[in-house]
């Protein structure tokens, strides 16, 4: 027989967790983040489990195409954008939106033969991982985005990512910077009331003022929380979340170890 290990993916728990988030955000739209093969559950499971979400966000273009093949008809967002110009044509053909988070991606979109119908502009407000930085200057950023906007069928939207939304302090500066910066860029671009997205999992759970137009919950949809502390109020069950994986196996051996005996390679554990 094969090894006695079984992993169960609970689609019902995925649906439940999405509903928990829906109750917290009200009319705000939800990107169900399904990066890394839906956190290991499989894109096809995400299509079923998150069917009531407003959109799906992925990193890999192959995952977006698998979602379409599995029957996902709602918006799909490539949250790291395109890695090559030819990706943009594939996105266009499959109704997939992109993100502009680097000068290279802005240049790529402005000069590609075919582009998606919509793009979200990621602004670096303090995470310092991805996003257009303020040190580039508003005039330069507007010049790039204007060239991109002329290629699109829908207005540009804006997003950022919190570094410290799982703590009581540390997110406010990013929140303020984003909400001060976006109107300036939007005015220069002629975008009236552009869509905004700020909230990751922690902000979706705990910072309602950051919900804006779209939230981007990830790990919470799979039954865990991003909090690193031991506060009982930050545990998954305190938010009503359910784990979507159940791992079952069978014990195959028990060793009786005397005090002072070492265990394993290098004897790194001693009873």
The pairing of strands 29-33 and 55-58 is parallel
Which of 35, 74, 122, 222 is the catalytic position?
Answer: 35
* DSSP string computed for 230-261: --GGGSGGGGT---SEEEE----------TT-
Q: Is 39 a catalytic residue?
A: no
Alpha-carbon span 121 to 111, nearest angstrom: 17
- Give the closest residue to 119 by CA, choosing from 96, 97, 91: 97
Q: Where are the beta strands (DSSP E) in 80-135?
A: 96-100, 119-124, 132-133
Catalytic: 265?
yes
- Cβ atoms of 25 and 60 closer than 8 Å: no
* Candidates 222, 227, 242, 265; catalytic one: 265
Look at residue 160 and give its three-state secondary structure: coil
Question: Which among 271, 209, 270 has a CA at the least distance from the CA of 196?
Answer: 209
CA 154, CA 54: separation in Å to the nearest integer?
Answer: 17
Point out the residues that are catalytic: 35, 265
């Amino acid at each position: 027989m094969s090894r006695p290990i079984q992993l169960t993916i609970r689609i019902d728990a995925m649906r439940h967790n999405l509903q928990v988030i829906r109750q917290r955000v009200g009319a705000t739209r939800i990107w169900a983040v399904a990066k890394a093969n839906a956190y290991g559950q499989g894109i096809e499971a995400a299509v079923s489990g998150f069917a009531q979400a407003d959109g799906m966000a992925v990193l890999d273009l192959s995952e977006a195409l698998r979602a379409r093949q599995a029957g996902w008809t709602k918006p799909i967002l490539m949250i790291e954008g395109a890695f090559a110009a030819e990706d943009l044509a594939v996105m266009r053909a499959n109704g997939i939106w992109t993100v502009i988070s680097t000068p290279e991606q802005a240049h790529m979109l402005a000069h590609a033969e075919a582009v998606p119908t919509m793009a979200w502009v990621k602004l670096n407000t303090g995470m310092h991982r991805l996003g257009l930085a303020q040190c580039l200057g508003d005039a330069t950023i507007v010049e790039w985005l204007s060239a991109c906007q002329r290629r699109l069928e829908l207005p540009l939207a804006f997003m950022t990512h919190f570094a410290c939304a799982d703590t009581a302090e540390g997110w406010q500066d990013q929140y303020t910077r984003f909400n001060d910066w976006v109107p300036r860029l939007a005015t220069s671009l002629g975008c009236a009331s552009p869509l905004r997205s700020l909230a990751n999992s922690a902000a979706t759970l705990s910072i309602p003022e950051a919900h804006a137009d779209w939230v981007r919950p990830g790990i919470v949809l799979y039954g865990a929380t991003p909090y690193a502390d031991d506060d009982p109020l930050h545990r998954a069950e305190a938010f009503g979340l359910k784990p979507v994986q159940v791992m079952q196996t069978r014990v195959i051996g028990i060793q009786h170890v005397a005090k002072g005996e070492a265990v394993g390679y290098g004897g790194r554990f001693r009873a």
